[in-house]
Structure 1
Amino acid sequence: MKKSLNVGIVGYKFMGKAHSNAWKKAPLFFDVPSQPILKVACGRNQASLDEFARNWGWEETETDWQKLVSRPDIDIVDIALPQQLHYDVAIAAAKAGKHIFCEKPLAMNSQQAAEMLKVCQENNVVHYLNHNYRRLPAVQLAKKLIDDGKIGRIFHWRCAYQQDWIVDPNFPLTWQLRKETAQAGPQWDLNSHAVDLAHFLVGDIATVSALTTNFITERPIADESTSGNLSAQTKGDEKGPVTVEDAALMLVEFASGAVGSFEATRFASGRKNGLTFEIYGSEGSVTFDLERMNELRYFSRNDPEGEQGFRTILATDPTHAYMQHWWPAGHIIGYEHTFVHAVVDFLNAIDKQTTIEPNFADGLKTIQVLEAGLRSAESGQRVRMN
């Protein structure tokens, strides 16, 4: 394997920054098999792109993503774009033989996702979908406890992903609030993370029942020059319709027989990025709160009678996933570290010519559940997964 791999990133806003930081930090803390070179950053606005490239150390800039993807010196294409743009870039990158590091949710629908997966497989490229919460040490610990039988037979999954950034009715009609550019609201954006975690920790979902709702049906038109940001500005007094849901709730049956619930909303006042899950089993339970992301709460029914209770485990010891590469035990890590862990695992997968999870197959499976939820909400009927 090459001792260095040239990265081309498409997109330079929120996720572009998070990904850039990860490419830079990974070889500083981990023994990676290849040095990632921040070769080309791509975006539409040359002035903003130049500033981004200077700040993060990208060697070159490009405003045409097709030119970036076709460059023979680019080994990895990093797709840090909104989901409506993933399909075209990923298909072209895979056909050009580039390994792909892609933001979630994977695509606008399962048809796109299936085609993206197929083309990646046909061209034998490593494809990774960045559901970064899998790579939290505390979540990895939850997975280990489950795999080791410490939770036993799982009965219940309960998950909520809550934000509050559009509670104000004067917040503009950004791309995230329009079906043609976002496909759906929190069902797509937030529940994609939640469903991926459920697949990772509990298993496949067999049936879905859901409802969705809108609290605000029209909003001021956004200034397109700022609509990519959560701090977007309005263009004037004109308003347009909100065409995605504001909140989504799902009840599911897992193939294992467990049952679960999902809540995804952008109207939970006081919750900026609140993600929690609870898993209850025959031998014990685990609970997680992203706002306390270094901690996992664990209960064991096998503790002595009179001494049972939830314990808080600080997942910062060297025995916990990834932590031996960071700070001494007890020194917490943050949100940005999950991206570093993803880059490290991605580079190792390329070096070993193996798969990495979650990948586009996992992304397709997640989108199929999300689509089933939307169909259920529209029809009022339970949907069985194929």
Structure 2
Amino acid sequence: MIGLAREMIDAGELGDIVSFQGEFSEDFMGNPSSPWSWRCEAAHAGGALADLGSHLLAMARHLLGDVEAVCADSSTVHRQRPASNGSQEMRSIAVDDQTHALLRFANGARGTFSSSWLKHGYKNHLSFEISGTKGTLAFDQERLNELRIYRTGAAGRDGFQRLLAGPAQPGYAAFCPAPGHQLGYNELKALEVQALILAVCGKGSRGPDFEEAWQIERLATAIRLAAAEQRWVALSDI
């Protein structure tokens, strides 16, 4: 469905893009008694920004292109966690539990970014709303087989329309011949592995590469710096 969203944006179905609102929230670290793990080690992971936010930044770049500048704020809510399940030993936490940012895209759009692993009730809330001069497109990975679109100019037909995944989307028909029957998260992983193998063999379309991974890390670094210094940071300075 992300591929479909990109097609619709590139085709101008939303008009000129005005704004991006993105969020990736889960709650697996919401309980202060949840134990320390490698995710809590700054040298190996990088908190909610790196663990969850990197996926959202990748999606934002894929859909809207380069980000020129960011302003951000981060916080560590639970500063200590048990060293392991049931342990009395506590370990200090030096990474963010949540990070929020403002984004300025090179195409003129403005955006918001939010990543948190403390937000109770959300299990895989990788989501966005993209608004343009002709409509709005919305996606939530907890409902990964659908997009919602609102188109302007439909007098008497106001409201969002739900678009369902089906055989028209690449890879779907390999698992099911009819729309509305739903693909699961694991099927998407299988399609990703297929794309990787085809790329290694020199077949298929080119996907994210090491250059793109570096650009995502560069963007995360800018957000981290903006939060630490409480100022706008230009990507050209990173």
Task: Please indicate, yes or no, whether the TM-score normalized by the shorter chain is above 0.5.
Answer: yes
Query: Match of 1:368, as an amino acid?
Result: R
1:237 aligns to what SS in structure 2?
coil
Deviations 1:270-305 (Å, cap 9, x if unpaired)? 112211110000112110011111010011124x32
Give the Cα separation in 2 of the matches to 1:171 and 1:351.
Answer: 43
Number of the residue aligned with 1:279: 130
- Contact residue 172 and residue 221 of structure 1 kept, 8 A: yes
Number of the residue aligned with 1:199: 61
Query: Match of 1:168, as an amino acid?
Result: N
Deviations 1:67-87 (Å, cap 9, x if unpaired)? xxxxxxxxxxxxxxxxxxxxx
Query: Match of 1:164, as an amino acid?
Result: D
In the alignment, structure 2 segments of 5+ residues that lack a partner are none
What are the within-5 Å matches in structure 2 for residues 173-192 of structure 1?
Answer: 173-182=36-45, 184-192=46-54
Give the Cα separation in 2 of the matches to 1:275 and 1:352.
Answer: 31
Which structure has the higher relative contact order (CA within 8 Å, separation 6+)? 2
Number of the residue aligned with 1:325: 174
Percentage of matched positions with identical amino acids: 30
Give the Cα separation in 2 of the matches to 1:160 and 1:145.
Answer: 21
Number of equivalences: 235
Deviations 1:225-260 (Å, cap 9, x if unpaired)? xxxxxxxx24x3121210101100011000000011
Number of the residue aligned with 2:103: 252
Number of the residue aligned with 1:344: 194
Give the Cα separation in 2 of the matches to 1:298 and 1:168.
Answer: 35
Query: Match of 1:169, as an amino acid?
Result: P
- Contact residue 76 and residue 94 of structure 2 kept, 8 A: no
Query: Match of 2:121, as an amino acid?
Result: G
Q: CA deviation at 1:352?
A: 2.5
1:181 aligns to what SS in structure 2?
coil
1:307 aligns to what SS in structure 2?
coil
Q: CA deviation at 1:384?
A: 0.2
More helix by share: 1
Give the one of 237, 251, 275 matched to 2:88. Answer: 237
Query: Match of 1:167, as an amino acid?
Result: G
2:96 aligns to what SS in structure 1?
coil
Number of the residue aligned with 1:70: none
1:368 aligned onto 2:218 = yes
Deviations 1:141-181 (Å, cap 9, x if unpaired)? 11111111101110010011111111221221111112122
Give the Cα separation in 1 of the matches to 2:174 and 2:36.
Answer: 42
- Contact residue 141 and residue 321 of structure 1 kept, 8 A: no
Q: Whose radius of gyration is greater, 1 or 2?
A: 1
Runs of 4+ in 1 over 4 A off after TM superposition: none
- Contact residue 73 and residue 227 of structure 2 kept, 8 A: yes
2:218 aligns to what SS in structure 1?
helix
Number of the residue aligned with 1:61: none
Give the Cα separation in 1 of the matches to 2:44 and 2:191.
Answer: 29
Query: Match of 2:168, as an amino acid?
Result: T
What are the within-5 Å matches in structure 2 for residues 120-199 of structure 1?
Answer: 138-182=1-45, 184-199=46-61
Number of the residue aligned with 1:123: none
Alpha-carbon spacing, 1:340–1:354, altered in 2? closer, same or farther (3 Å): closer
- Contact residue 250 and residue 263 of structure 1 kept, 8 A: yes
Number of the residue aligned with 2:72: 210
Number of the residue aligned with 1:291: 142
After superposition, the CA RMSD in angstroms is: 1.5
Q: CA deviation at 1:308?
A: 3.3
1:221 aligned onto 2:83 = yes
1:161 aligns to what SS in structure 2?
strand
Give the Cα separation in 1 of the matches to 2:193 and 2:28.
Answer: 29
In the alignment, structure 1 segments of 5+ residues that lack a partner are 1-137, 223-232
